[in-house]
């Protein structure tokens, strides 16, 4: 029985990445996008700027490993947040200054409204703290947007997302205690390790 995408049950979940600096954030913003995909978000939006390198990396993973995710870049972050709320969605801003995730995740999970999860890079403008329906801390210590997003999504979906299957995948890993086993679904046979992954 295929494992359904958790967002089918919990509603639409998009990630909005703020403050991307192309000269230094390529890897980390790509990782935000990859965590969004792998941990069950169904949209990734890079605010205020388009970095083709980042978008192409995420697209490449979607092509090889499957999944349907809305991708968008260059949209003004503030307008995106306002429009999201205007169309009935709620905004969850991840920040170390927020309320502890365990104190709010139950209410967030129960709400059927589409969820926009906002993560920053450097200092996030005050606008987002004010507009957010929830400012949520993954513990009140500084760490990373990649870690914060992964833990938040995992708490939201209660771990279910790690079992989901990705439609349209060309490759699938056969879990193994040692070594690297990968099946090409197009060729119907095992292939070796892929792209240094």
For ligand SAM, the binding residues in 109-128 under the rule CB under 6 A are 119-121, 124
CB of 127 to ligand SAM, least distance (A): 13
Q: Under the criterion CB under 6 A, does residue 143 sit at the interface with ligand SAM?
A: yes
For residue 3, the minimal CB distance to ligand SAM (Å) is 27
| Distance of closest approach, residue 48 Cβ to ligand SAM, in angstroms | 14
Check binding of 184 to ligand SAM (CB under 6 A): no
Q: How far is the CB of 95 from ligand SAM (least distance, A)?
A: 4
Which residues in the 145-164 window bind ligand SAM by CB under 6 A? 145, 148
Going through 76-147 in order, the beta strands assigned E by DSSP cover 90-100, 115-119, 134-137
Among 62, 138, 150, 153, binds ligand SAM (CB under 6 A): 138
Tokens found for residue 70: 């809305």
Cβ atoms 64, 36 nearer than 8 A: no
Question: In whole angstroms, how close is the CB of 20 to ligand SAM at the nearest point?
Answer: 11
114: tokens are 């589409």
Q: Which two tokens stand for residue 153?
A: 């999504």
* Positions in 11-70 near ligand SAM (CB under 6 A): none
Q: Are 21 and 143 in contact (CB under 8 A)?
A: no
Residue 66's contacts (CB-CB under 8 Å, 6 or more residues apart) are 165, 166, 167, 168, 169, 170
Contacts of 102 (CB under 8 A, 6+ apart): 155
Tokens 């997003």, located at residue? 149
Indicate the pairing of strand 115-119 with strand 90-100.
parallel
Number of residues this chain uses to bind ligand SAM (CB under 6 A): 17
Pick between residue 35 and residue 61 the one whose CB is nearest to ligand SAM.
35
For residue 94, state whether it binds ligand SAM (rule: CB under 6 A): yes
Binding site for ligand SAM (CB under 6 A): 94-97, 119-121, 124, 137-139, 141-145, 148
């Amino acid at each position: 029985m295929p494992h359904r995408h958790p967002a089918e049950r919990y509603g639409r979940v998009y990630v909005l990445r703020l403050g991307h600096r192309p000269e230094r954030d390529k890897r980390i913003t790509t990782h935000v996008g990859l965590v969004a995909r792998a941990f069950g978000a169904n949209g990734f939006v890079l605010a205020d700027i388009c970095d083709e390198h980042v978008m192409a990396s995420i697209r490449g993973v979607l092509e090889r490993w499957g999944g349907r995710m809305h991708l968008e870049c260059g949209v003004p972050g503030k307008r995106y947040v306002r429009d999201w709320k205007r169309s009935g969605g709620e905004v969850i801003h991840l920040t170390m200054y927020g309320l502890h995730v365990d104190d709010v995740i139950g209410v967030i999970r129960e709400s059927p409204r589409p969820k926009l999860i906002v993560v920053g890079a450097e200092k996030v403008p005050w606008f987002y703290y004010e507009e957010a329906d929830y400012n949520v801390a993954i513990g009140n210590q500084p760490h990373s947007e990649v870690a914060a997003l992964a833990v938040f999504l995992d708490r939201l979906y209660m771990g279910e997302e790690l079992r989901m299957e990705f439609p349209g995948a060309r490759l699938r890993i056969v879990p193994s205690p040692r070594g690297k086993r990968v099946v090409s679904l197009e060729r119907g046979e095992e292939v070796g390790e892929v792209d240094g992954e």
